Amino acid sequence: MRPRPSSSTPPWTASPAMPGVDAADEFETIERLFRPLAHPQWGRSLIDDVAALPSRPGHDLILTKDAMVESVHFLPDDPMDTVARKLLRVNLSDLAAKGAEPFGYLLACFWPEASGWLEREAFAAGLAEDQAKFGVYLLGGDTVVTPGPASFSLTALGWIPQGRAVARAGAAPGDLIVVTGMIGDGFLGLKAARGELALEDERIAALTAHYRTPEPRVDFALAVREYAAAALDVSDGLIADMGHMAQASGVGILIDLEKLPLSRAATAWLETRVDPIAALTELATGGDDYEVIMAVAPNAIDGLKREADARHLRLTVLGVVTEGEGVVVRYGGEIVEVTQTGWRHG
């Protein structure tokens, strides 16, 4: 056996279409747009079929995979660079909420037949920008043409010290329910991007930007790992995701709606609404916030707050973990009925 060169090259495979289907440009897409994004060691020179990652002793590998479809998860008007960045960010958000540090990702692109180089170049440019921002690299994937809408699937990878991943399960009665950042800008951002909001231009721009490129709490992952008993990110909607935590942990959660942390844009929107309870409920069920919900033992809250302060990150205690099940929402001490579907409310 002669020594083999390293096989640690990116597993790009431009899946061939069946004969008769035009699959032009897939190889060039890889070569020209994606190869420069590959990991400097594992993706340096050659195309191969797989990525080979050295193991990291004492660490677990954390994996997550999210898919996005045009007109379902993003708008046809959304710029492709922000579509790419959002795809990466929603996956990094999942890792951060588990306490993991991201290092790479695999990507599947389904390009519409009518799409051209401009879209693909913008997509790759968006990835390049966020790779640099978050310190991750492309490890491999697939690129194909589809007669359907632009669709993407991304598998993100991160490391965490062995056994330290923070689960949805783990919340116990008496824990505080804490959330990072602001809630509702995802919901309002979608409305803003759709032109459905009557607010000042500056607010519309801020909300649209938040919808298109939410801020995953990557730099807070170590604090989550250190101080949270249970955690997940807000993707389905604050209340629905708290419901997931409650169910997984076998507990109930009680929160006060008036404690919802709101951006200035959300506050401005709230002032235009007749029914504050209905409006706050919309913000708490709209989803797409990508903040971190944590259950935190009372003796751990000071440590968590110090970590947040050091990062100028807002932390809000919304309520507590209780015996029982489900999420109970109060406003001014009175119980509010909220359905668990995430975006419908009664």
Ranges within 20-49 binding a second copy (CB under 8 A): 21, 23, 46-49
Shortest distance in whole angstroms from residue 151 CB to a second copy? 6
Q: Which of 178, 204, 229, 277 binds a second copy (CB under 8 A)?
A: 229
The burial class, CB within 10 Å (0-12 / 13-18 / 19+), for 161 is middle
Closer to a second copy by Cβ: residue 23 or 268: 23
* Residue partners of 39: CB distance under 8 A and separation at least 6: 10, 104, 137, 138, 139
197 phi/psi in degrees, rounded to 5:
-115, 135
Conformational region of residue 105, where left means phi above 0, alpha means psi within -120 to 50, and beta covers everything else: beta
Q: Is 115 in the site for a second copy (CB under 8 A)?
A: no
Number of residues interacting with a second copy: please give it, by CB under 8 A.
97
Block residue for tokens 């991160």: 158
Based on the shown chain and the rule CB under 8 A, indicate whether residue 273 belongs to the binding site for a second copy: no
Check binding of 138 to a second copy (CB under 8 A): no
Burial group, residue 155, by CB count within 10 angstroms (0-12, 13-18, 19+):
middle
Strand order in the sheet with 334-336: 230-233, 292-296, 176-180, 315-322, 252-256, 326-331, 334-336
Least distance in angstroms from the C-beta of 126 to a second copy: 19
Do 90 and 216 contact (CB within 8 A), yes or no?
yes
- When asked if residue 301 is in the footprint of a second copy (CB under 8 A), the reply is no
User: How many other CB atoms are there within 10 angstroms of residue 133's CB atom?
Assistant: 13
Select from 150-158, 251-259, 304-312, 321-329 the region that touches a second copy (CB under 8 A): 150-158
By the rule CB under 8 A, 76 interacts with a second copy: no
Per-residue x/- marks for a second copy, 159-178, CB under 8 A?
A: -x-xx-xxxxxx-x------
Of the candidates 44, 65, 133, 306, which one interacts with a second copy according to CB under 8 A?
A: 65
Name the segment binding a second copy (CB under 8 A); options: 53-61, 116-124, 177-185, 252-260. 53-61
Among residues 297 and 330, whose Cβ is nearest to a second copy? Answer: 297
**Which residue in the set 176, 206, 342, 345 belongs to the binding site for a second copy (CB under 8 A)?**
342
Residue 241 is inside which H or E element, if any? helix 238-249
Stretch that binds a second copy, among 4-12, 117-125, 260-268, 323-331 (CB under 8 A): 4-12
Residue 42 vs 259, nearer CB to a second copy: 42
- DSSP designation for 30: I
**Judged by CB under 8 A, does residue 82 bind a second copy?**
no
Placement of tokens 């999420």 in the chain:
327
Q: Minimal distance in Å, beta carbon 312 to a second copy?
A: 25
- 212 binds a second copy per the rule CB under 8 A: no
Any idea what the Cα angle at residue 240 is, between residues 237 and 246, rounded to 5°?
135
